[in-house]
């Protein structure tokens, strides 16, 4: 018998409130550019056909908020904070601190097109389920960074 996992989600209002708090406490330009760029991934990750597992949902959430610039500023910071909240909301508390620490540089590389969505998915899967990156993930990150220089 297959166990169906129930996920918990947050809404646009929570995402905007989180972003506003980040800007207030770390600086930057307030406000949103395009709420549709925020509503879309928050809605999409609820589709279990396209995003069946936690790592699929989290990857799409982080990548979309990072890349699609719903906010005037702080998109990378917001993608990490909202990703961490999504983990916490869904019982992955044990990995939130590691996620935030590991993803700090990764978020910059995603924004700079150094790390694509597929590699981000591998990185997030590794953060969630492994004690350390596998050798193949380490090599892929190294190669992506080297290729960008």
Domains of the chain (ranges, CATH numbers) = 12-148 (1.20.120.1870)
Name the pLDDT band for 149 (thresholds 50, 70, 90): confident
Q: SS3 sequence, the chain?
A: CCCCCCCCCCCHHHHHHHHHHHHHHHCCCCCECCCHHHHHHHHHCCCCCCCCCHHHHHHHHHHHHHHHCCECCCHHHHHHHHHHHHHHHCCCHHHHHHHHHHHHHHHHHHHCCCCCHHHHHHHHHHHHHCCCCCHHHHHHHHHHHHHHC
Read off the pLDDT of residues 31-73 as tens digits, 9 standing for 90 and up.
999 999 999 999 999 999 999 999 999 999 999 999 999 999 9
Across 16-23, average pLDDT: 96
Answering whether pTM is above 0.85, one says yes
Q: Tell me the pLDDT of the chain averaged across its residues.
A: 94
């Amino acid at each position: 018998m297959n166990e169906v996992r129930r996920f918990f989600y947050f809404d646009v209002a929570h995402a905007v409130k989180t972003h506003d708090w980040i800007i207030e406490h770390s600086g930057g330009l307030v406000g949103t550019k395009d709420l549709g760029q925020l509503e879309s991934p928050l809605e999409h990750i609820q589709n279990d056909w396209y995003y069946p597992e936690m790592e699929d949902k989290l990857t799409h959430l982080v990548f979309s908020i990072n890349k699609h610039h719903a906010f005037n500023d702080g998109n990378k910071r917001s993608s990490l904070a909202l990703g961490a909240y999504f983990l916490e909301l869904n019982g992955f508390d044990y990995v939130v601190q590691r996620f935030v620490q590991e993803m700090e540089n990764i978020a910059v590389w995603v924004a700079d097109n150094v790390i694509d969505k597929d590699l981000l998915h591998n990185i997030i899967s590794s953060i969630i389920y492994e004690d350390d990156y596998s050798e193949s993930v380490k090599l892929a990150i190294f190669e992506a960074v080297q290729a960008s220089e």
